[in-house]
Chains A and B, each alone.
Chain A
Amino acid sequence: MLGGHDPAYLRVVWIIASAFGVAALVVLVVVYRRARRRDELEEAERILAEDDRSGM
């Protein structure tokens, strides 16, 4: 009986809050994939730049 609300109401609040959580998880996955792609690109550029410097 949180805040005087009945269990059915609290269940709905929990479901809505969980929906936000699931949406946040989806956003996290998208952010992770984008960051990984960018990191791989930057790592390749760094290796190429090091290779160029050592070749000189």
Chain B
Amino acid sequence: MEANRLSQLMTLTTGGQLAHATRARETMIATYAIVAGLALSSLWGLAAGSSSAALAVANACKVPMVILLSALTAIPAGVVALRLTGSQLPASELVAAFATSIFGGTLVLATLAPLVAIYYHTSSKAGVPLALGSVFVALATATLLFGRAVKRRVLERGGRAGSLAAVVVLVALFVAALMQYVALAAPIIGNAGTRFDGGFDTVFGR
């Protein structure tokens, strides 16, 4: 049953469509996507914090929480933007597309986790940049998946592509929230910390 659900989730994430798609099934898959995504991000958290056991264990909880809180912060603004653009796309579908794209992004994080872990312990130069790079790759992947999923749903309904503004708003707010939650939860990547540990002020400060 779980394997079937995972297969359905992968179908949606890769741009496919569910057989006998109902609202209940889409809601189920979207919530499953969030929970599976959080579990996958936890794996990356373990790898990124593997320099010490305490940091690894803390990261296993902190990283999923940072992602969940960033999503919760961004979703209301995305829904408002969707309504203001006069889109025919229901808010539930926007949120479902967002959930599957989070799953896609965290899937990338989890697949890069072993690489992050091995570089952490074997390279003093590449460990931290690789961990940060994996986050940017995951963010880019999730954004592309989200844009594609919303575009497909909008075109299916014969709606205007202008509704993609909601995607831009949602992604921008997600990234903005992510930056501050990461700072709040710091340290995540290594004990030495990164530029992102100070939030907006250090990232954009002189």
A-B contact count (CB 8 A): 56
* Residues in A neighbouring B185, C-beta threshold 8 A: 14
Instruction: Flag if A35 contacts B28 (CB, 8 Å).
Output: yes
Binds A, one of B17-25, B120-128, B144-152: B17-25
Instruction: Flag if B183 contacts A18 (CB, 8 Å).
Output: no
Instruction: Flag if B68 contacts A21 (CB, 8 Å).
Output: yes
Q: A6 vs B199: C-alpha distance in the bound complex, in angstroms? A: 15
Any A CB within 8 A of the CB of B79: no
Nearest CB in chain A to that of B29: its residue: A35
* Residues in A neighbouring B201, C-beta threshold 8 A: 2-3
Within B171-202, the residues touching A (CB, 8 Å) are 180-181, 183-185, 198-199, 201
Q: A35 vs B32: C-alpha distance in the bound complex, in angstroms? A: 11
Q: A36 vs B34: C-alpha distance in the bound complex, in angstroms? A: 15
Contact of B31 among A14, A35, A38 (CB under 8 A): A35
* Residues in B neighbouring A28, C-beta threshold 8 A: 31, 34-35
Instruction: Flag if B68 contacts A43 (CB, 8 Å).
Output: no
* Residues in A neighbouring B51, C-beta threshold 8 A: none
Instruction: Flag if B72 contacts A20 (CB, 8 Å).
Output: yes
Nearest CB in chain A to that of B202: its residue: A2
Query: Taking the nearest CB of chain A, how far is it from the CB of B171, in angstroms?
Result: 20
* Residues in B neighbouring A36, C-beta threshold 8 A: 24, 28
Instruction: Flag if B28 contacts A18 (CB, 8 Å).
Output: no
Query: Taking the nearest CB of chain A, how far is it from the CB of B14, in angstroms?
Result: 21
Q: List 10 A-B contacts (CB under 8 A).
A: A17-B69, A21-B65, A21-B72, A28-B31, A32-B28, A32-B31, A36-B24, A38-B24, A39-B25, A39-B28
Cβ-closest 9 pairs across A and B: A38-B24, A35-B28, A35-B27, A32-B31, A39-B24, A21-B65, A39-B25, A21-B68, A35-B24
Given contacts A20-B69, A24-B72, list 4 more A-B pairs with CB under 8 A: A32-B28, A35-B27, A36-B24, A42-B22
Residues of A within 8 A of B (CB): 2-3, 10, 13-14, 17-18, 20-21, 24-25, 28-29, 31-32, 35-36, 38-39, 42-43, 46
Residues of B within 8 A of A (CB): 20, 22, 24-25, 27-28, 31-32, 34-35, 65, 68-69, 72, 180-181, 183-185, 198-199, 201
